[in-house]
């Protein structure tokens, strides 16, 4: 297999097609997931952005040449497609996560099989339809280029176990990722995992609290707390704790919760009743630990025309120390807040959870910012300064450590995960010297 000669034109024209349909696609995401229209449109923009990125990337799939220790020899790396790339995506980014994977996988010469979340089949049908339409408009034979597999968990299992699928890129819960990783390992198959996050931000004494409030509100309450990058833990220096919590509480009290398609709404409904229940369970458990809980209750009357959506007011939960539900990822808008006294202690708290996706520090102190982003700082795949934990640009590699799964998608050199590398030694001399000076004279 090699990259289809028209592949670059294909995703260039796919990106253009998606751009033309951005308003409808944004609305569809909003309708199906409950995220607000602005965020639905933002997600479609991510699809367009990664297509453009892939077009440029298609000219930059480079390998190294390496000096050989032997005369008249050269060493080089060549990169080849892996074959069929299986993509398992989650409900919360029903289009963008496919596109990050698809654009890179295709640019690297692979073909695709996509199993979207069973909660968001319509977004998948629409986006995949446009992908194939773009190919057909270019006169490409679409047979076997990309398959959409709508179905339950068993469909995902079949995908993971199919011998022709050489790489499985899975986005979703840690529990799902563990199963995928183990099934792939048993077949010596590659997996690329982008799983949960229990993301924290540290607020230092010198922090610009205006930035903190804006950054925390978007990261914790945006997408109704249902991003893997959502901010869940705020670790606040005791000197600014009271002032910050007061401001956050007053902002959360006013957040417009309601129909995600209505202009001005900032928080739409949760994806389903299970999400609502797990949020309430986490809040009850925090209360059991003596937490002070602000909001988090059902927002009565928020659904347009009495719709049965699960609308909640995002919660702020004050805890004396990091414990209980704060140590676990709950996929809902709960922002736990704890005080700290010492920066080392704050970094230790940031790192004290099983996930390692995103993190942030708010500070004007260069030493704290540098320390946080150094090897002795945050242990996450994303470590930000003076910006929230969510809303990454596509240009950087995206993913995290520990139970987040270790995979990297999207920008930078993430493409390497979608290819296999061969090291080539080429002898252009007339003798056969062996490496390490070994003599083997026959
Ligand atoms: C996810 O929640 O699975 O950084 C992905 C962000 C988005 C992607 C989130 N660009 O928040």
Query: For residue range 75-112, what is the model confidence (pLDDT) as tens digits?
Result: 999 999 999 999 999 999 999 999 999 999 999 999 99
Q: What is the pLDDT of residue 108?
A: 96
Tens of pLDDT, residues 343-376 = 999 999 999 999 999 999 999 999 999 999 999 9
Q: Is the beta carbon of 392 within 6 A of some atom in ligand 1?
A: yes
* 334 and 364 part of one domain: yes
Range of the domain at 252: 199-385
Cβ atoms within 10 Å of 304's Cβ, excluding its own: 13
Looking at residue 394, its pLDDT comes to 97
Rounded-to-10 torsion of CA 142, 170, 104, 356: 170
Residues 6+ apart with CB under 8 A from 422: 77, 78, 79, 80
Residue 169 Cβ contacting ligand 1 at under 6 Å: no
Task: Give the position, in ligand 1's atom list, of the atom nearest the Cα of 390.
Answer: 11
Q: In which band, very low, low, confident or very high, does the pLDDT at 300 lie, cut at 50, 70 and 90?
A: confident
pLDDT at 51 over 90: yes
User: Ligand 1: distance of its center to the CA of 41 in Å?
Assistant: 14
Beta bridge partners of 74: 426
227 CA distance to ligand 1 middle (Å): 6
Is the CB of 171 within 6 Å of ligand 1? Answer: yes
Same domain? 187 vs 262? no
- Which pLDDT value is given to residue 331? 98
pLDDT category at 128 given cuts 50, 70, 90 is: very high
Closest atom of ligand 1 to CA, residue 392: 4
Residue 435 resides in a domain: no
Mean pLDDT on 283-311 = 88
> 312-344 as b/e, with b when 16 or more CB fall inside 10 Å?
bbbbbbbbeebebbbeebbbbbbbbbbbbeebe
List pLDDT tens digits, range 148-194. 999 999 999 999 999 999 999 999 999 999 999 999 999 999 999 99
Mutate to test the pocket of ligand 1, among 227, 396, 411 (most ligand atoms within 8 A of CB): 227
Task: Point out the ligand 1 atom lying closest to the alpha carbon of residue 194.
Answer: 3
> Is the pLDDT confidence value at 5 over 60?
no
Judge if the beta carbon of residue 92 lies within 6 A of ligand 1: yes
pLDDT at 304 over 70: no
Strands (E) located in 257-393: 292-294, 315-318, 334-340, 355-356, 358-362, 382-385
Residue 438 inside a domain? The answer is no
Does 121 reside within a domain?
A: yes
pLDDT at 305: 57
d(CA 386, CA 28) in angstroms, rounded, equals 32
Q: What's the CA-to-centroid distance between 126 and ligand 1, angstroms? A: 20
**What percentage of the chain exceeds 90 in pLDDT?**
94
Q: Hey, which of 228, 331, 358, 380 would you mutate to test ligand 1's pocket, going by the most ligand atoms within 8 Å of its Cβ?
A: 228
DSSP 8-state symbol, 222: G
Tell me, yes or no, whether 204 and 143 share the same domain: no
- Report the percentage of the chain scoring pLDDT > 70: 98
Relative to the CA of 230, which ligand 1 atom is closest?
A: 11
In a domain, 414, yes or no: yes
219 and 368, same domain (yes or no): yes
For residue 7, the SS3 value is helix
391 lines ligand 1 (CB under 6 A): yes
CATH code, domain carrying 237: 3.40.309.10
37 and 50 fall within a common domain: yes
- Cα 279 to averaged position of ligand 1 atoms, centre (Å): 20
Predicted confidence at residue 306, as pLDDT, reads 53
Q: Indicate whether 431 belongs to any domain.
A: no
* In the predicted structure, residue 2 carries a pLDDT above the cut 80: no
What positions carry a catalytic annotation?
194, 228
> What's the pLDDT at 296?
98
Q: How far is the CA of 433 from the centre of ligand 1 (A)?
A: 52
Conformational region of residue 399, where left means phi above 0, alpha means psi within -120 to 50, and beta covers everything else: left
Name the closest-CA residue to atom 7, ligand 1: 391
Let me know if residue 395 belongs to a domain: no
Strand bridging mode 315-318 / 292-294: antiparallel
Position 11 scores a pLDDT of 86
Q: Give the position, in ligand 1's atom list, of the atom nearest the Cα of 228.
A: 2
| Residue 259 predicted with pLDDT over 90 | yes
Same-domain pairing of 173 and 314? no
> Is the C-beta atom of 390 inside 6 A of ligand 1?
yes
Q: Are residues 190 and 329 in the same domain?
A: no
Mutate to test the pocket of ligand 1, among 46, 357, 398, 409 (most ligand atoms within 8 A of CB): 398
Q: What burial letters (b/e) apply to 245-258, b meaning 16+ CB within 10 Å?
A: bebbbebbeebebb
Counted domains in the chain:
2
* Measured distance CA(46)–CA(274) in Å, rounded: 28
* Domain identity same for 178 and 231: no
pTM confidence score: 0.96
Do 124 and 262 have their domain in common? Answer: no
* Domain-located, residue 442: no
pLDDT at 330: 98
Whether 157 and 133 share a structural domain: yes
Tens-place pLDDT, residues 61-85: 999 999 999 999 999 999 999 999 9
**Residue 228 Cβ < 6 Å to ligand 1:** yes
The answer to the question of residue 292 being in a domain is yes
The two tokens of residue 313 are 């007011």
Could you read off the pLDDT of 381-413 as tens digits, one per residue? Answer: 999 999 999 999 999 999 999 999 999 999 999
Does the pLDDT at position 1 exceed 60?
A: no
Tell me how far the alpha carbon of residue 77 lies from the centroid of ligand 1, in angstroms.
32
Distance separating alpha carbons of residues 15 and 127, to the nearest angstrom: 11
SS3 at position 243: helix
Phi/psi class of residue 130: alpha, beta or left (left: φ > 0; alpha: ψ in -120 to 50)? Answer: alpha
- Check which CATH number belongs to the domain holding 48 and give it: 3.40.605.10
Task: Give yes or no: residues 212 and 139 share one domain.
Answer: no
Q: Given 385, 417, 437, which residue is the final one in a domain?
A: 385
User: DSSP label at 264?
Assistant: T
Residue 374 shares a structural domain with residue 260? yes
List, edge to edge, every strand of the sheet that includes 65-66: 65-66, 73-81, 419-427
Average pLDDT of the chain is 96
CA-based nearest residue to 425, from 72, 82, 81: 72
């Amino acid at each position: 297999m090699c990259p289809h000669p028209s592949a670059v034109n294909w995703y260039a024209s796919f990106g253009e097609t998606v751009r033309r349909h951005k308003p409808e696609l944004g609305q569809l995401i909003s309708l199906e997931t409950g995220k607000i229209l602005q965020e639905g449109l933002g997600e479609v923009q991510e699809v367009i952005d990664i297509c453009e990125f892939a077009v440029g990337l298609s000219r930059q799939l480079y390998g190294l040449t390496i000096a050989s220790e032997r005369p008249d020899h050269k060493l080089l790396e060549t990169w080849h497609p892996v074959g069929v790339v299986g993509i398992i995506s989650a409900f919360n980014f029903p289009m963008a996560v496919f596109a990050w994977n698809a654009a890179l996988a295709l640019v690297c010469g692979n073909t695709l099989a996509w199993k979207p979340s069973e909660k968001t089949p319509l977004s998948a049908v629409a986006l995949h339809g446009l992908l194939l339409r773009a190919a057909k408009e270019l006169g490409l034979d679409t047979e076997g280029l990309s398959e959409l597999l709508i179905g339950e968990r068993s469909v995902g299992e079949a995908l993971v176990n199919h011998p022709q699928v050489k790489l499985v890129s899975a986005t979703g819960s840690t529990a799902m990722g563990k199963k995928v990783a183990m099934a792939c390992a048993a077949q010596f198959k590659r997996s690329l995992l982008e799983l949960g996050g229990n993301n924290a931000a540290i607020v230092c004494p010198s922090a610009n609290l205006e930035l903190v409030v804006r950054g925390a509100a978007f990261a914790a309450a945006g997408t109704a707390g249902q991003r893997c990058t959502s901010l869940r833990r705020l670790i606040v220096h005791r000197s600014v704790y009271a002032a910050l919590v007061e401001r956050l509480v007053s902002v959360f009290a006013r957040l417009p919760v309601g129909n995600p398609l209505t202009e001005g709404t900032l928080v739409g409904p949760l994806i389903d009743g299970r999400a609502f229940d797990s949020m309430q369970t986490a809040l009850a458990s925090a209360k059991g630990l003596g937490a002070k809980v602000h909001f988090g209750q059902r927002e009565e009357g928020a659904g347009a025309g009495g719709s049965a959506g699960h609308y909640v007011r995002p919660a702020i939960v004050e805890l004396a120390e990091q414990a209980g539900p704060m140590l676990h990822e709950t996929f809902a808008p709960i922002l736990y807040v704890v005080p700290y006294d010492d920066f080392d202690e704050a970094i230790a708290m940031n790192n004290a959870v099983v996930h390692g996706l995103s993190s942030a520090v708010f500070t004007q102190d260069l030493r704290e910012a540098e320390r946080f982003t150094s090897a002795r700082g945050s242990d996450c795949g994303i470590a930000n300064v003076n910006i929230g934990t969510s809303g990454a640009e596509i240009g950087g590699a995206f993913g995290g450590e520990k139970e987040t799964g270790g995979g990297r998608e999207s920008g930078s050199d993430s493409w390497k995960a979608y290819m296999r590398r061969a090291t080539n030694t080429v002898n252009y001399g007339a003798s056969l010297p062996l490496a390490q000076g070994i003599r083997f004279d026959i």
